[in-house]
């Protein structure tokens, strides 16, 4: 495969338009104002005039097949797994397949699992699930068109033709897809293409090398930070550090006198400094004298945050679920504990970055975004242009994890390009990136269990947290059960055989921006529930593994996943302790086993984490393993080290010396087992994260007798 080209002008497939061959269904109507397929990422090239068979697929005379991806590649492998869906049904030769990013356009939307809308948004571990039928159908339709084209040419019945590896055959006749594409593109696509049954798959379920990786080991992959545009200037952002605050005054005189043609733009929420080079902009930004008004953020510190959350926990809560009968006075024992987690930043390794160019009749945005649709809307509003005149060029994302579903960095780049009159590329400093995030909310949760008959009988949870959806929805929706889901989901029901489950939610309003952080509520609720279950096991004097097996006895799919993880973990080495946890999220079930040791001076070592995942039908097993490994490693980082503290509504940890992240020396060995399944596909990017904190903290308890009820673990074992 050749290196990806970084092409910022409209690309060659307009050539195909000129030759009048584009007739495929759901193809963007090129040339009448809808975004051209002008992409930032093109993996591999093609020669000659490629022909579109539909919005997703084009075939070149040299048989190269380019598949366009509506989802963004942020490391989760969709630039390989989604093309596999198309290639499988097309019977394409995988070796001739390349991928590129699609423009923001309604044709590239998918159904959402979580909400009843169609979106071009990469998140919610939904790419495979959301594009499953769309891409399998598109691939199958394409195959049928190629077959019909061949059959007409040979004057044979299409039913007598076979396809394999990019070739149509009938008797002794054969033609490649490249030879047939032009004729096929003139056919009407079938309304109901015939798809393969899973036992006919030859590509799905295998692990071809990821298409994007060559560009990621030779440095040629293009992230938004790497974009180059003619006449581009460079910018640095000074965001208001206080959530709820605003710009009070600033003096840019010294900055404007510095080299590099410095410009300073000020907005209510930030100051942007632009210069000929990023470093000149950075140096000039240090010379800007700014006074921020902390506004609503005044006085908001850790003690105040804790008080707000705990007061809400003790105050009026909304009942989210209440099933079954509680034991009340006949309970043979009660266990009650309160847990807490802090605000968390995503810490994507690529700081926020976006380039933009605004002219009278169009706006181009180069950005690593999970939210193409939101980026269009943001740019259209700022430029007063029609959505059709906004061109989003999706670059690779240097980490997404939910952070790049936000569009505030697109807003800042577009408004700066608009106001400066030149194309600009903004790269946030690490400090700026962390100061204005969309954090995982701080949460407090009280859990109560009734015991009886030597087991756990009922479970109740009271949870207080800021609401993620409130920012996107009117108040009437923000108080709904739907809006409570990203806070309390996973506690409103459990996989366990319990007589009764009840969950209560208290929404806490704070000016700190909260958003979607990898696995969302799973990042805390699995920790609360699964650690608390181990607390119950302790009171019951039961082995936590045996107790889980008993409570999952009537839930065979969960039990099998749990047993698979425990079996795969094997014999526990002497001197180590083993914790377990199981949690389902995003349509998949994950159990994890953590083997740890704690030295006499409180030094924790997480030696090994074993995970089992049932994510239904698997497209690319190696990517599933990589995602579970990555998610649990990120989850371990959060468990051990991460959390933001605040002063006057401003985050106090803004770079990695005060905000450590897990490094290789602390990274455990990881073993991921995929449980074979014929169920519909589940999500993969996030479900590996939630069980980690509980598995690790449960192991810590067995090693030390110390319950970790507040994350991160930090220095708690040293006390």
Q: Please, which residue, 320 or 689, has the CB nearer to another protein?
A: 689
Q: Please, which residue, 144 or 226, has the CB nearer to another protein?
A: 226
Contact 692, 594 (CB under 8 A): yes
Q: Please, which residue, 537 or 624, has the CB nearer to another protein?
A: 624
Q: What angle do CA 372, 687, 81 make, to 5 degrees?
A: 55
Measure the N-to-C terminal CA separation of the chain; round to a whole number of Å: 55
Q: Please, which residue, 92 or 224, has the CB nearer to another protein?
A: 224
To another protein, the closest distance from the beta carbon of 370 in angstroms equals: 12
Q: Which of 609, 606, 616 is nearest to 677 (CA)?
A: 616
For 356, list phi and psi in degrees, rounded to 5. -150, 150
Q: Please, which residue, 163 or 420, has the CB nearer to another protein?
A: 420
To another protein, the closest distance from the beta carbon of 275 in angstroms equals: 10
**Residues in contact with 272: Cβ distance below 8 Å, sequence separation at least 6, in sequence order:** 235, 236, 237, 238, 264, 265, 266, 412, 416, 426
To another protein, the closest distance from the beta carbon of 75 in angstroms equals: 3
Q: Please, which residue, 507 or 659, has the CB nearer to another protein?
A: 659
Q: Please, which residue, 1 or 473, has the CB nearer to another protein?
A: 1
Residue ranges binding another protein (CB under 8 A): 74-77, 209-210, 212-223, 225-226, 228, 234, 259, 277-280, 283, 347-351, 396-401, 427, 429-431, 622, 626-627, 629-634, 637, 655-657, 661-670
To another protein, the closest distance from the beta carbon of 341 in angstroms equals: 19
Q: Which of 301, 248, 258 is nearest to 279 (CA)?
A: 258
E strand or H helix at 624 = helix 621-640
Q: Between β-strands 424-427 and 233-239, what pairing exists: parallel, antiparallel or unpaired? A: parallel
Q: What angle do CA 159, 160, 166 make, to 5 degrees?
A: 90
C-alpha span between 61 and 182 (Å, rounded):
9
Q: Please, which residue, 140 or 284, has the CB nearer to another protein?
A: 284
Q: Map tokens 């584009």 to a residue.
A: 22
3-state secondary structure of 595: strand
Tokens of 484: 């409570």
Contact 54, 142 (CB under 8 A): yes
C-alpha span between 401 and 399 (Å, rounded):
6
Q: Which of 511, 529, 527, 507 is nearest to 519 (CA)?
A: 527
Contact 561, 591 (CB under 8 A): yes
Q: Please, which residue, 279 or 472, has the CB nearer to another protein?
A: 279
C-alpha span between 461 and 480 (Å, rounded):
18
């Amino acid at each position: 495969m050749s290196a990806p080209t970084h092409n910022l002008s409209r690309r060659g497939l307009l050539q195909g338009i000129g030759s009048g061959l584009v007739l495929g269904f759901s193809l963007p109507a090129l040339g009448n104002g809808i975004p051209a397929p002008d992409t930032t990422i093109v993996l591999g090239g093609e020669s000659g005039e490629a022909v579109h068979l539909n919005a997703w697929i084009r075939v070149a005379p040299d048989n190269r097949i380019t598949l366009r991806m509506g989802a963004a590649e942020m490391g989760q492998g969709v630039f390989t797994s989604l093309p596999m869906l198309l290639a499988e049904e097309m019977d394409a030769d995988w070796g001739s397949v390349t991928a590129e990013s699609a423009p923001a356009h309604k044709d590239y939307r998918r159904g959402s699992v979580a909400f009843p809308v169609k979106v071009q948004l990469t998140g919610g571990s939904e790419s495979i699930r959301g594009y499953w039928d769309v891409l399998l159908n598109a691939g199958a339709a394409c195959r049928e068109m190629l077959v019909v084209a061949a059959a007409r040419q040979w004057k044979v019945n299409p039913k007598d033709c076979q396809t394999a590896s990019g070739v149509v055959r009938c008797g002794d006749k054969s033609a490649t897809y490249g030879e047939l594409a032009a004729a096929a593109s003139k056919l009407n696509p079938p309304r109901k293409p015939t798809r393969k049954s899973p036992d006919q798959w030859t590509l799905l379920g295998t692990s071809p090398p990821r298409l994007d990786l060559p560009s990621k080991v030779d440095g040629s992959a293009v992230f938004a930070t790497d974009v180059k545009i003619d006449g581009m200037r460079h910018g640095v952002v000074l965001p208001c550090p206080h959530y709820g605050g605003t710009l009070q005054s600033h003096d840019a005189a010294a900055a404007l006198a510095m080299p590099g043609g410095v410009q300073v733009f000020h907005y209510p929420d930030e100051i942007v400094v632009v210069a000929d080079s990023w470093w000149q902009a950075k140096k000039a930004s240090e010379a800007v004298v700014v006074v921020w008004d902390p506004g609503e953020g005044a006085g908001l510190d850790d003690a105040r945050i804790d008080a707000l959350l705990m007061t809400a926990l003790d105050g009026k809560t909304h009942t989210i679920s209440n099933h079954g009968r509680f034991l009340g006075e006949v309970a043979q024992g009660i266990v009650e504990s309160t847990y807490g987690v802090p605000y968390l930043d995503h810490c994507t390794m690529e700081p926020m970055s976006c380039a933009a160019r605004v002219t009278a009749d169009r706006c181009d945005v180069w950005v690593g975004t999970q939210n193409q649709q939101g980026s269009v809307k943001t740019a259209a509003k700022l430029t007063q242009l029609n959505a059709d005149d906004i061109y989003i060029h999706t670059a690779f994302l240097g980490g997404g994890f939910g952070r790049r579903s936000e569009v505030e960095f697109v807003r800042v780049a577009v408004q700066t390009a608009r106001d400066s009159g030149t194309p600009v590329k903004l790269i946030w400093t690490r400090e700026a990136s962390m100061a204005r995030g969309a954090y995982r909310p701080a949460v407090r949760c009280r859990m109560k269990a009734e015991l009886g008959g030597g087991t756990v009988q009922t479970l109740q949870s009271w949870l207080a947290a800021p609401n993620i959806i409130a920012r996107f929805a009117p108040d009437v929706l923000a108080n709904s059960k739907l809006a409570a889901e990203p806070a309390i989901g996973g506690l409103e029901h459990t996989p366990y055989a319990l007589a009764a489950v009840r969950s209560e939610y208290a929404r806490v309003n704070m000016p700190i921006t909260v958003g979607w952080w990898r696995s969302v509520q799973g990042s805390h609720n699995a920790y609360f529930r699964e650690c608390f279950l181990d607390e119950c096991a302790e009171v019951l004097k039961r082995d936590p593994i045996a107790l889980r097996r008993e409570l999952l006895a009537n839930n065979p799919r969960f039990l099998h996943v749990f047993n698979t993880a425990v079996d795969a973990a094997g014999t526990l080495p002497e001197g180590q302790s083993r914790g377990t946890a199981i949690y389902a999220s995003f349509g998949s079930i994950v159990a994890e086993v953590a083997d740890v040791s704690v030295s006499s001076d409180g030094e924790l070592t997480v030696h090994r984490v074993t995970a089992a995942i049932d994510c239904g039908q698997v497209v690319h097993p190696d990517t599933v393993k990589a995602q579970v490994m990555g998610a649990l490693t990120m989850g371990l980082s959060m468990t051990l080290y991460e959390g933001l503290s605040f002063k006057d509504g401003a985050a106090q940890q803004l770079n990695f010396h005060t905000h450590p992240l897990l490094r290789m020396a602390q990274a455990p060995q990881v073993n991921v087992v995929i449980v074979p399944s014929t169920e519909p596909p589940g999500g993969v990017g996030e479900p590996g994260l939630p069980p980690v904190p509980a598995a690790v903290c449960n192991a810590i308890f067995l090693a030390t007798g110390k319950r970790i009820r507040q994350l991160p673990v930090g220095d708690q074992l040293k006390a």
